[in-house]
Amino acid sequence: MTSTVPASMTRTAEGAALQAVLLDMDGTLVDTEGFWWDAEVEVFAELGHQLDEAWRDVVVGGPMTRSAGYLMDVTGADITLAELTVLLNDRFEERIGRGVPLMPGAARLLAELARHEIPTALVSASHRRIIDRVLDSMGHHHFSLTVAGDEVSRTKPHPEPYLTAASGFGAAPERCAVIEDTATGVAAAEAAGCRVVAVPSVAPIAPASGRVVVRSLEEVDLAFLRSLVTGMR
């Protein structure tokens, strides 16, 4: 976990409704879910295997070990998980080095959260090296705390990443709003006890108790997040 949280920020205001906003990265803030799939397709092609498009919904949003492990199993590729992880991260890093497109509404939302001094964290299943490369493009200043998939013992869909982020702010999980784009991330946030806004990127996500599904970040603003936490939505 990387944090620049000042001591004063870790003591959330007593009685405050929304205490922190925790955001996923790939597919939520940056339009990179397709980058991951393209990297996987290219690497497996070089290993002599063609990926089925239907497998994309299975691996989207998952931690590297789960996604890579699944593709190894279904293709029978002759490679170790450690070797494959390096290849996929290298290929993905090449792609994001050419530029990272923001999702519609992302820049406006991050600017609003900063303007109102809302504690904001980036919580991703991606490895630290990938997060830092994306932040070089998106802007490190948007987040006072970041949690990478290789910095926790159990990553999404386990709640540990979101519990870690909430703890870093001294916030109660139920007073945190999470924005996610995949079922894996939604499961992690809900298991942590957070309120969730789902913005599906590849596979659909159904509405549920404590969860709101929207089509785009353009539908999300600070008032929306505050009302979600206080139960008005």
Known catalytic residues?
A: 24, 26
Which residues, 6+ apart, have CB-to-CB distance to 3 below 8 Å?
144, 145, 146, 168
For 112, half-sphere exposure in the C-beta direction (CA atoms, 13 angstrom radius) is 15
Helix 128-138, helix 81-96: angle, nearest 10? 10
- Selection from 135, 138, 128, 133 nearest residue 161 by Cα: 128
Helix (H, G, I), strand (E, B) or coil at 115: helix
